[in-house]
Amino acid sequence: MSGCAARRYVAAALGRCRARGLPLWEPPPARGLRPLGAGGAAVVPPLLLPRRHLSSRNRAEGKVLEPVGVFEAPKQHGKYETGQLFLHSVFGYRGIVLFPWQARLYDRDVASPVTEKSENAAGHGSKEVKGKTHTYYQVLIDARDCPHISQRSQTEAVTFLANHDDSRALYAIPGLDYVSHEDILPYSSTDQVPIQHELFERFLMYDQTKVPPFVARDTLCAWQEKNHPWLELSDVHRETTENIRVTVIPFYMGMREAQNSHVYWWRYCIRLENLDSEVVQLRERHWRIFSLSGTLETVRGRGVVGREPVLSKEQPAFQYSSHVSLQASSGHMWGTFRFERPDGSHFDVRIPPFSLESNKDEKTPPSGLHW
């Protein structure tokens, strides 16, 4: 990435972060990226935050800036390694990469060489979309930033069913997120504990001889290996309608026995992004849920997770997670979100159809943080 391109990328990302209430400092253009050396390597500006950043809701008190790290040029090729620090380019939080996933991205905005119409089991017309490989990351979110991520329904958490002998219905591990490669705005830091999260020192350790200088502990490797089927991000579905892009990531959570029958559970994470400058507000949701058992359920309601988010140029994205259960080992979901424009008119945005699959090893129930 050239110095000018990287400068524009950093400036745009910082602008989005500032609009989300994270009072980041952006240097003037003269102190931005400047090429150095024969190779044209770019030096990026420092990432500064108020000293009292996120310590109080009264941000007027946070007048003193202190360095957090130094921005790096985003990678256009390859992937980020375990231990990479980053600023989320959409939601503005600080985080660190735990490990990458290679997912299949089914992007309905990209035309396939041969586009055909098909009818699924519920009679829902859709075009065939060929998946392509895309890199996502399992990351830790800095706990100091969580209270100020206003465009998320909650602090993101990974949830899955507890062991059968556990009295709790779910494990919830807060502050874990799945991040697309293009969401990452990388930076470096000399702080040996740059991210505040209860799992940071349990999963990672500082090693100044490495780049990045944070490496996986055995506990992280063991946790990933043991819970791989329940953490795995395998499919991502994306579609844009009227400049509103909907991205869906489903996760299988496990199976429960209830009243002599099996109940299968999934979590799905949805991001809504306004690609236009017009302000719109989500008003309603309309879901169709088809089960392999032959049932078709319709769900309508106001907003999502109790909220009716506004998507604007300053805050263009909203993300939330929810859960669904079926009395069959597979099925699929699709639907629409109804949005309202400032003039009171409405339009429907398609939710891309996605499969609910349970092809996991049921002999190994999910494990929480107990080694």
Tell me what pLDDT residue 1 has.
Answer: 52
Higher pLDDT, 334 or 8: 334
pLDDT band of 59, cuts 50, 70, 90 = very low
Compute the Cα dihedral for 121, 124, 126, 131 and give only its sign.
negative
Rounded CA gap, 131 and 58, in Å?
A: 46
> Judging by DSSP bridges, how do beta strands 214-216 and 204-206 pair with one another?
antiparallel
Q: Is the pLDDT of residue 249 over 70?
A: yes
Asked if the bond preceding 212 is cis, omega within 30° of 0, the reply is yes
Instruction: Please choose, from the candidates 291, 183, 301, the residue with its C-alpha nearest in 3D space to the C-alpha of residue 247.
Output: 183
Rounded mean pLDDT, 90-108: 94
Higher pLDDT, 223 or 153: 223
Rounded mean pLDDT, 33-57: 45
pLDDT band of 53, cuts 50, 70, 90 = very low
Main-chain phi, psi angles of 54, to 5 degrees: 70, 5
CATH topology of domain 70-109+131-357: Immunoglobulin-like (2.60.40)
Tell me what pLDDT residue 232 has.
Answer: 85
Report how far Cα 120 is from the mean position of its chain's Cα atoms.
Answer: 28
Lowest model confidence (mean pLDDT) among 73-77, 151-155, 233-237: 151-155
pLDDT in tens, 324-347: 999 999 999 999 999 999 999 999
Rounded mean pLDDT, 350-362: 82
Q: What is the DSSP string of 115-141?
A: --EEE-TT--EEE----EEEEEEEEEE
**What is each CA distance from 138 to 157, 170, 234, 321, 338, in whole angstroms?**
11, 20, 12, 16, 31
| CB-based contact 10:25 (threshold 8 Å) | no
Residues with Cβ within 8 Å of residue 75, at least 6 apart in sequence: 181, 186
Rounded mean pLDDT, 135-154: 86
Report how far Cα 42 is from the mean position of its chain's Cα atoms.
Answer: 28
Tell me what pLDDT residue 332 has.
Answer: 94
The overall average pLDDT reported for the chain is: 79
pLDDT in tens, 191-236: 999 999 999 999 999 999 999 999 999 999 998 888 887 788 889 9
Q: Which of 16-30, 278-292, 315-329 has maximum average pLDDT?
A: 278-292
Global pTM? Answer: 0.79
Residues with Cβ within 8 Å of residue 367, at least 6 apart in sequence: 163, 226, 227
Q: Is the pLDDT of residue 102 over 70?
A: yes
Lowest model confidence (mean pLDDT) among 59-68, 323-332, 360-369: 360-369
| CB-based contact 321:270 (threshold 8 Å) | yes
| CB-based contact 166:208 (threshold 8 Å) | no
Compute the Cα dihedral for 210, 211, 213, 216 and give only its sign.
negative
**What is each CA distance from 144 to 140, 141, 345, in whole angstroms?**
12, 9, 39
Rounded CA gap, 366 and 111, in Å?
A: 38
Lowest model confidence (mean pLDDT) among 46-60, 94-108, 283-297: 46-60
Domain boundaries, the chain: 70-109+131-357
Rounded CA gap, 304 and 98, in Å?
A: 29
Q: Is the pLDDT of residue 167 over 60?
A: no
